[in-house]
Structure 1
Amino acid sequence: MDLSLTLRKGLEDFSRNVLFDQSRTQPFPNENDTFLPHDKRVLSSLHLQMSLYFNMWFFPVWWISETVMLHLKYPVLPDYYKFILVTVLILMTLIEAIRLFLGYAGNLQEKVPELAGFWLLSILLQFPLILFLLFNEAILIQPLERGVHIVLATFILTQALSGFVALRNVVRHTESQFHLRQFSEALTSRPHLETSLHFPDNM
């Protein structure tokens, strides 16, 4: 449980300080904090959600195509490429499952840590792996493979761009709400401060 909270806090700090260079701002409020009731804006990205939806249905097609093609060309591949391709297929399957889950949760629930994790997995892991499968001619790329790799690479790149925009909007909105809440609390506490002051009658 502590590891999960530490990971979420690290992703929040990364989003605020590294991605958007806003180290001077206050930390994000907790999920249980209540914001001002009049702000009901929807920050979820429609483009990101549509891309995630179609990606979720396309990925099984990609996985079946890649598995069948790998089985057909496996006997003629060098031993080290056999190991590399099997490892890449397993890694991409696991990463894609986690990535899509984080994308759905982060976008629909407008959560910064999940969106940040989704964006990092897309840029740092999944996109380089699909480029390796797409452009490395030594692995004997078949026409079907090239086609499904292009489609998946397009999904990942589109989601990385729209995910960055969605993450930036959620970060800015969360911080603005946090500052507004602080300002509102300061205004409500001011009358108590004024009544606590006592001035002599002769002044």
Structure 2
Amino acid sequence: MELPETIRRRLEDFSRTVLFDQSRTQSLTKENGAFLAHDKRVLSSLHLQMSLYFNMWFFPLWWISEIVMLQLKYPALPDYYKFILVTVLILMTLIEAIRLFLGYAGNLQEKVPELAGFWLLSILLQFPLILFQLFNEAILIQPLERGVHIVLAIFILTQALSGFVALRDMVRHTESQFHLRQFD
């Protein structure tokens, strides 16, 4: 008497998961100081995730204060700075939304392309834009603006550093898994 196909498949999956994966994880091989064979380590960065979480809650406060400060100083600005500041605000809002999404997806799901996109957006776009707003005195920086720009710059900088470390670790782990699969 044969088991139904769905029950047989579930039992096979269960036995493969419980019996074989435990034996594989117990017989880890150590190469170059790192455990490589069928490694079940969590590669997500806690520091990066905490920074992304607090940044997600801080960004609306930054955005509201930026809108209020822009509205207050708008009449005193030259026309070209009016255009530049509105453009920078729109760009930073879009980039920050995409950057935070990629950071969450890349870190929590341990996906290298998303985390690399997050890191590149942080370094190449968001950090220079926040530095422009922080150090360009011609845009009539207000004290509230300076404070929120400093906090956002610190978030971006710490996320870039911890994102780099997390990305490096994920790439090394993926590379070691690739090399191990060559022998299986």
Count of aligned pairs: 149
Aligned-partner residue type, residue 161 of structure 2: L
Report deviation, 1:131: 0.2
Unaligned runs of 5+ in 1: 1-34, 185-203
* 1:80 matched residue in structure 2: 80
Give structure 1 regions of 4+ aligned residues with deviation exceeding 2 angstroms. none
1:156-167 to structure 2, matched below 5 A, reads: 156-167=156-167
1:52 matched to 2:71: no
CA RMSD of aligned residues (A): 1.1
Aligned counterparts of 1:174 and 1:144: Cα–Cα separation in 2? 44
* 2:123 matched residue in structure 1: 123
Aligned counterparts of 2:73 and 2:176: Cα–Cα separation in 1? 55
Aligned-partner residue type, residue 139 of structure 1: I
Q: In the TM superposition, what whole-angstrom CA distance separates every residue of 1:17-38 from its partner, at most 9, and x where no partner exists? A: xxxxxxxxxxxxxxxxxx96x4
- SS state at 1:141 partner: coil
Aligned counterparts of 1:126 and 1:108: Cα–Cα separation in 2? 21
Report deviation, 1:141: 0.2
* 1:42 matched residue in structure 2: 42
Aligned-partner residue type, residue 140 of structure 1: L
Q: In the TM superposition, what whole-angstrom CA distance separates every residue of 1:34-75 from its partner, at most 9, and x where no partner exists? A: x96x42100000000000000000000000000000000000
Q: In the TM superposition, what whole-angstrom CA distance separates every residue of 1:98-126 from its partner, at most 9, and x where no partner exists? A: 00000000000110100100000000000
Unaligned runs of 5+ in 2: 1-35
* 1:143 matched residue in structure 2: 143
Aligned counterparts of 2:127 and 2:155: Cα–Cα separation in 1? 10
Aligned counterparts of 1:168 and 1:73: Cα–Cα separation in 2? 43
What is the percent sequence identity of the aligned residues?
93
After TM superposition, the score normalised by the length of structure 2 is 0.80
After TM superposition, the score normalised by the length of structure 1 is 0.72
Report deviation, 1:181: 1.1
Aligned counterparts of 2:77 and 2:39: Cα–Cα separation in 1? 58
Aligned-partner residue type, residue 100 of structure 1: L
Aligned-partner residue type, residue 152 of structure 1: L
Report deviation, 1:84: 0.1
